[in-house]
Amino acid sequence: MQAIQNKAPFWVFAYLIILAFGLCSVANARTSTPQSTHSAKKASTAKHKKAAARKGVQKSKIVTRRSLRSSGKPSKIQVGLRERQLDDIIMHRPKSGLDNSSAQLRSEAAFVLDLKTSTILYDKNSDEVRPIASISKLMTALIVTESGLSMSDPITISEDDVDHLRHSRSRLAVGTRLSRAEMLHLALMSSENRAAHALARYYPGGMPAFVRAMNDKARSLGMRHTHFIEPTGLSSENVSTARDLVKLLRAASKQALIHRYTTDDTEQITLNNGRQLTYNNSNQLVKNPGWDIKISKTGFINEAGECLVMVTRIDGRDVAMVLLNSTGRYSRIGDAVRMRAYVERGTTLAML
């Protein structure tokens, strides 16, 4: 009986030790599990945040690159342009802080030349061959004015003059009868396609002879990268370079009639039935008294973008300016204003 009593405390003590060890293990497991889980979650969250940050950067780059074209929300630049309206652009108000090393043009190709000294004032992709749209009409006008044909001869619009390629609109209905001078006036000032086509059709030998004369004239002027297949510019196969077009501007500037018709602000013509039509110049800059423009022609088809060529007087010198494939409705006008500021700044720096 005494032996049993002596052994009892030993088994009780052993049982208590085992129980205590078990309780400690359970407690440690419960304590360590939330910590490890929390650490794993924290690491996972950080990893997701980094990945999201990377995606966010990529997304912002895409939005920035496409904001001016594909974003449904108008950009600050677009909104600002609408608010200023075209008058602010025309009245020679370039942005402040313009980079001295670049005119920051939106035109894909540009070439500016001092016609007296042949000094290149600006050059951007000037040797790239591009569609030139209605700039073609300057060559059309050059062929007509140098042909010696009477400018008072009547010309009648026919079905052949209707644009079946791009279906462009015209207020000259089939059967409209005007003088050669009036047709040339509308073709140059308002870029009237039917008038330009009719002028070529009434050329001796017809359309084939006229187009041949256009290409022959281009070669004689040294326009080696220029080719015409029709007189209006509606075809994207009428191509040239910015440098070549300066040669065309130089030749056209010698024709007083081209100077007059391309710089007229407005013209009113009387049709056969007595109805009067008012046409305006397609280059809004000719309306601005702050610009002294000698020759002007605009052009647009999708393949060519917005185009503008001019001979204008800047700082007392005649400057030929060619702007091709600009994007945006008023972008070619804005580029002309920026280019003028660029040339004027260069003249000022040269005098210092």
Phi-psi region of 162 (alpha: psi -120 to 50; beta: other; left: phi over 0): beta
Task: Let me know if 137 is a catalytic residue.
Answer: yes
Interacting residues of 294 by C-beta distance below 8 A, sequence separation 6+: 253, 259, 263, 310, 311, 312, 313, 318
Question: Is the separation of the CB atoms in 332 and 309 below 8 Å?
Answer: no
Q: How far apart are CA 86 and CA 96, in angstroms?
A: 17
Catalytic residue, chosen from 136, 191, 235, 296, is 191
Question: What are the helix and strand counts (H, E) for the chain?
Answer: 9, 11
- At 12 the three-state DSSP class reads helix
107, 124, 136, 137: which is the annotated catalytic residue?
A: 137
Q: Please report, in angstroms and rounded to a whole number, the separation of the first and last CA atoms in the chain.
A: 125
Residues forming a β-bridge with 266: 280
Query: Active site residue: 134, 190, 240, 282, which one?
Result: 134
Closest CA to 184 of 129, 224, 146, 213: 146
Are the beta carbons of 169 and 328 closer than 8 angstroms?
no
Scanning the structure block, which residue is given the tokens 């360590």? 32
| Active-site annotation, residues | 134, 137, 191
